[in-house]
Amino acid sequence: MLKKAIIAAAIATSLASSTVAAQEDTATVEIVTLGTGGGPTLRANRSQAASLVRVGEAYYLMDAGIGTSRQMTLAGVQAQMLNAVFITHNHADHSQDLVNIVGARLLARMGEARREEPLAIYGPPGIRAMVDEAVAYALAGPLENFQLFTGEIPDPAGTFEVYEISTDGVILDTDGLTVEAIENSHYQLLPANQRETQKSYSYRLQTDAGVIVFTGDTGPDGAWTEILRNADVVVAESSNVEAIRAMMARAASVSADVDPVIANANQARLELLINHSTRQHIPADQLGELAQGMGVRALILNHFGPETDIVGTDQNVAQVRRAYLGQIEVSEDLAQYCLRRSPTEGISTLTTCPSSAGSDDRGNQ
């Protein structure tokens, strides 16, 4: 409990200090990697995919994998503080905790701390149904329980504005922030009829402090890679395919001594998993090639798979570094980064924020 209190206090202090910096001449945007683990399994050391971006006094949530609402609480950010949510795709490790955020936002419409403005939610087809079902679930219990704490019953009307993305392009243009969505190649192995409804997006954020890209889950090829061009920061997944291959090969070898049928099944799974990891996710070495070729200034490695629990993340860094010469940060849950642009120099720099909770010396690798 003490450690969690220290983390929350440190992040709150950093958010406050970043606000002061933003009021000065240097434009500042803060990125908090709330959850840095890939799914589908739940893990004790990494919550699932979610990041928080603060632009001025506005908060934007990028993805909402399982555990996000808890991570937001540790970061000192409540649902009523969010201006918008952006979901890259509808896999549970990127979207399932949106249900809890919807419920919390309904509560935020009541009582003294109410927020009247609707929460904007952007995502692929299917996100509207998810929000509608989350609202219905939140209101399924005895509504009198709400009255005990707030004195009123929640009214979902006007609480959410849901935007299902159907085409590439700018989806939000507001003070200090422009967000562009482009469909990526995470679902490229699906049958053609499924690809018509199953969509996965990457997001490019243009701010006064610089350009930030969230890749989400995607393969390394396709037209989407153009949004990486000259980005100041890219928050990207990086699959350690070499480690995945080695782990699965060991499992197949062990099972071969027990049952050849199981061994053959494991070999088939290995081939499917490698195909998935190389064509629908970004292998670390190819991420390095992409980032270098597109002129990316800094990478924040994210969405680490369970193989990193065994071999660590140094291999991811080494594989990216084969081609990439820029700054590499290895994210952890609740790590904080500040992107700043000096008006005199016109150059954006990424650093860990002052009093960054849980930070270590692995940045700038």
Which residue ranges form the domains of the chain, and what is each CATH number? 2-239+281-352 (3.60.15.10)
Q: CA-CA distance, 37 to 112, in Å (whole number)?
A: 36
Tokens 């990216």 identify what position? 320
Helices (H), the chain: 2-23, 68-74, 92-95, 98-108, 127-138, 144-150, 192-195, 241-256, 260-279, 284-293, 308-311, 314-321
Q: What is the pLDDT of residue 359?
A: 39
Query: What is the full per-residue pLDDT of the chain (365 aa) written as tens digits?
Result: 444 554 555 565 555 555 544 445 678 999 999 999 998 889 999 999 999 999 999 999 999 999 999 999 999 999 999 999 999 999 999 999 999 999 999 887 766 556 778 999 999 999 999 999 999 988 887 677 677 766 777 778 889 999 999 999 999 999 899 999 999 999 998 898 888 889 999 999 999 999 999 999 999 999 999 999 999 999 999 999 888 888 776 666 655 555 555 556 666 777 787 888 888 899 999 999 999 999 999 999 999 998 898 899 999 999 999 999 999 999 999 999 999 998 888 899 999 987 544 334 444 55
Could you tell me which residues come within 8 angstroms of residue 329 by beta carbon, excluding any fewer than 6 positions away? Answer: 298, 299, 300, 301, 335, 337, 350, 352, 362, 363, 364, 365
Q: Angle at CA 189, nearest 5°, toward 184 and 194? A: 85
Q: What is the DSSP string of 69-114?
A: HHHHHHTT--GGGEEEEE-S--SHHHHTTHHHHHHHHHHHTSSTT-
Question: How far from 40 is each of 94, 136, 186, 235, CA to CA, in Å?
Answer: 10, 26, 15, 20
Q: At what angle do helices 284-293 and 314-321 cross, to 10 degrees?
A: 40
Question: Is the sign of the CA dihedral 64, 221, 182, 29 positive or negative?
Answer: positive
**What amino acid is encoded at 266 in this protein?**
N
119 contacts 160 by C-beta, under 8 angstroms: yes
